[in-house]
Structure 1
Amino acid sequence: MPFPSSTPRETNGHGNGHGNGHGSGRPEFVPVMAPPPSLVEKGDDVDFSQLIGVLKRRAGVFLGVAALSFGGLTLWHLSRPPAYSGSVNLLVEPVTNVTPLALENVVGAQGGGASGLDYDSQIRVLRGPAVIEPILANIQRRYPNITYNALLSRLSIVQEGESKVLRVTYNDADPAVVSFVLDQVIEGFVDYSVQDRQGDLRRGLTFLDEQLQEKWQEVEAIESDLSEFQKRYDIVNVNATSESVTQRLNQMLADQEQLRVELTALEPLYDNLRDQVGFDPDTAIRVANLNESPTYQALLGDLRELEQTIAAESARFQTDTPMIEALEDQRQQLLPLLETEAQRLVGEAVEADTLGYKGSVSQGLMQQLVDTANQMQVLQTQDQAIGQTVRQLQAEIQRLADLSRSFQQIDRELTVAESSLNQLLASRQEMRLQMARQASPWEIISPLSESSITKTTNLPRNLLLSTVVGLMLGGVAALLRDRIDQAFHSTDELIKTTQLPNLATIPNAPALQKQPLLIEPNLAATMADVLTQSQSPEKLYTSFSFAEAFYSLEANLRMLSSDVPVQVVALTSSVPGEGKSTVCAHLAIAAANMGRRVLLIDGDLRKPSQHLIFAQPNRQGLSDLITQAIDDPNDLVLQLPGNPNLHLLTAGARPPAPGRLLSSRKMQQLTEQFRRHYDLIIFDTPPLSGMIDAKLTAAHADGLLLVVRLHRSERSEIQRVLADLGNTAQAPLLGLVVNGVPQSRQSGYDYYYGYYGRPQVAVGLEENV
């Protein structure tokens, strides 16, 4: 059969000879979606819609278990004998808070509550053997069959809210037994209260005496420690001594500050005097001593007379005359003598001819310099002495601080011990006053009477309880049954679990069991033509919803990519029996009806089915094109009658190694050749479970569609398939095609069904009815 005569289409501007690693012209398709992730484990959040769906699916289990549970519980309630109950209220504490202070202290010291009574503990004591056994002995004189355990199982003691009242209740099938047992129990509780109240007071007084003895010893020990501390450190009051030392320290610091101020004021005067005199104080003293030396003064006088003579003769004679030279020689002889005498007295090299001419002002300045230096020396000595005293006082303050902490700790312990001792003395006095009074027993505020003994059986309540328990057990059984079932039961659950887009939802069509195709292969011009192909109302509705699902799938495949359309698509499933081949056939018919040139290739070389669906021979097909040298592949392509856009390539002869054929270079060349002549090529591939044919075929396609059938596909198998595809598939997984979805006449299809088909076929349908 020849190919369509239209011009071959090249996708994305590429011709033959360019491809995806095989030298072909296969278009480079970039899918919109990322490769599908593995299944995601969800949390334990309650999904009420999913819960309702589970109950609907497991309605039989739910209703069966609920009915059995309800019936069993109802029979159990009806078979039980009637029960009677009586109760008595006991006031166990005074209404006003008159608990003695001493008893409150004792209870508080022993860990009791603020009210003086721990009701939980009190109830346990009342149900204990010490209280119940004397009461049981009196009861068994009349009713010997009542045992200890039987009495406790029917006896209830509870606190009435936050009140000081205990409610005592007893249940039995005989109202006379209820009345007698409650009388004996209440009488025994009242006797116990008297003994217990007196016992509490005696135990409290004993406890106080023991505490007082301990506190007396503790106070004496602390007082002895305080006396020893005062003797050891010779201090009566550490705080007073510390305050005195602190005052002395502050005074010393003030005096030291004053001395330093005076010393700072003298330093500029000292520096100025030293600059004016030109000597330090020691040198000035020695210079003063030099002025008082007779030898030095005599030599200095001779030198001055000689200099005067030289000056007078120099006015008369030249400097080189013998007289002037003789006078100069005399002068030079006097200078060493004068310098020797000055160094002997002063102790350093000085200008001997100038030291002897100090006037009264210079001598006064030197005297003031010496006095200032002496005064500064005195102030520095005083500052050092005060600094040493300050350090001693600071050390003393630090020692007193350490002693103060020890003293305060001992004093604090003594204060606490004395306070506790005084409190215990007051409590003991109050306890002795309380012992002088008569302890009041517990008071019955609601005595037992015949009218207070009531029948406790409540049939409506029991029936309601049986209903609730039955529904809960039925729900649990339904959930467990659904938990065991690993199949997917809803489209939302499937999409949520796989995180893959749903490209089509194929409704369940029981009519497929009678005929392989619900959409006729003949070309339909309008939707009304599709509808009028069926005559019965049920088949009419089924054909519409079924066909509309495949038209939606075809449209979704168009819109997967805006740049490069999906031209070659492979359909597969996880396991056999999910309707993969039927989906391929109807998708091909829907695409052909929409005006696209479609080639349906039966790639299931192991178990082909497309020739059976379309009632065509399978003499030669895909396997023959790959294994044999056929010049024109179009000779094996079948054009289906009634639809010039729909073509079929059957599987052909069954080869011994289908995988080798599907992965061959010849298979790639055939696919690329078909691409140039068809708008859409659909491969029907085997299931993924245990076979690699689908993955090998998908390597030649633009994408892979996974057909999943509700109520059949299991979670573990889908998980394994998706993980395997994510690791090994060379084509992107475009999405899901959910098959076998239950139909609902309330869906949106019903509206469009009426819009398209009801006006044209309503009369015919009424006549057939």
Structure 2
Amino acid sequence: MTSSSDKKIESLDILTGEIDLIELKNACLRRLHWIIGGGIAGLCLGLIQVARTSPVYQAEFEIVLSANKAGGESILSQNQALAAIAGLSGVSGNDSIATELQILRSPSVLRPVYNLVIANKTKTNTDDLTFQSWVNSSVSAEQLQGTSVLKVAYRDSDKSLVLPISKMLSKTYQDYSNRGRRRELENVISYLEEQIIDIKLKSEASTKEALDYGYANALGLLDGLPLAGTVSGGASGSRPGEAVSGTGGGIEAARTAAIQKIRALKLQIKRAQDAGRGSLYFASQISALTDKSSTFDQLTSLETKLAEYRSRFTDTDPLILKLERERMALIGYINTQTISLLKGELDLAVANLSALDRPKDVVNAHRQLTQKALRDEATLVSLQNQLNQFRLEQARKASPWELISSPTMLENPVSPRKYRIIGSGLLIGIFLGAFIALTIDKRSGLIFSIRELKAVLPGVLLNRLPYPDQTIQKSWIEPIKLIAQGPLLAHNSIALITLGKIDDAIVKNFSSHLQTYLGANKTIILNQNLLETRACSTQVIITALGAAKRDDIYRLREELILQGGDVTGWVLLDTNLVSTLNI
């Protein structure tokens, strides 16, 4: 069952809600031997750990990770499909370097180095040394901030192995830089060769099919294709073989020319008909006719005469009218001959157009076959060009990653860090000792806090007296006199109740001094029996810091409550006042 005083202490702790640092300090000072012992133990363990740990030596070097692997990636960047095949798609910048760091720690790169280390160590030292544990403990690689420089370090307890293994490690990394490039180029070249074999068969088959269909329908290779553009396999922004067009096929061009000629002939015929007998319509087609007839010569002679007569006669002269009629008749004749010639050519052009006609389905089918053949051919040419590019790149010797600092072994071991281990051991020992000291102080149950005593003990604190130094008890005279002539002056009998382990001589000395200042007519008794002390007019408790346990104090408080006697207060024999007075 929890007592009321217990609840009061708990409520006090809750209200304060803070750690009394002074009490913690005092507790540590009371149990200082535990803290010193813990510090010494931690220091000894640190020294033992340093003595038992073998020194670890380290060698370092720096290497530059090339942003582009000797030009291979620059070619691949032009074709994302090939980049994906080579394993370069979507990896760039910091992601690429982070990926390289993981690869450089993988078995595919470091397995030969690990095997050499195992071969040069004794069996007892390699029984539990797996590849992963060796990499984690011995090899470190980190990127220097803001650069593509990689700082690599190798650590080992065998000093003779550190530098040779570091040199092999640097050479392994340099070999890896070109190995990756070679593998990527081999993958792309192999892919292109396979694709060329496949596309070549398809191109030959599609070309043969287009030619056979064209021969069967009297169509040329480009018949049915669009009239503008070219067939291309390397157009910018398109994949090989996608841009397909043409200058127009022979039949299509002939049909277009025939249609245009028919339109021109019809226009010429119309203009010749409109001319009638009033004006001469000259067409280029009648040049052949003028070579075989003197019609134009007659017209020229007639117009010459007409011009000469008009200079001498009027327009109404019969001779001029006669010449004018002859001229109009001759012009009508020439225009009629011209129309006949044009109509003959029109019939021939219409016949040619009819001969060039093909069913739309035939032309469309031929166009599709031709486009497919040209696309396959363009794709084949594009792949062959790319293959030649990558073969040239493969033949070029690339520079490995550059070492900007050769492997160098540090003069002093990097492990163990003696001062850190010893300091850590000392601190851990001190903290562990302080924890044990506080735990023991807590479990002892003794109260060393004046604040807690004030909260638990009945009455008020009458005074604090130095304790337990006998030589300074003369300092009690004034405080005891104040107590006797103050709170105890009105009481005839006083009971002194000792709480905790206090020297009886000290208590008797206090009682005698108190009796002196109270006078002989007043009674002072020293007794622990509350039934007997109840008869006194008041009671005074005498205790000291660390002399009484909490349970004893709580028990005394409860008994005093049950007793119902008057309690003036309590006197504290304070050990903290000893050092103060000595000073």
> TM-score, normalised on structure 2?
0.46
TM-score (norm 1): 0.37
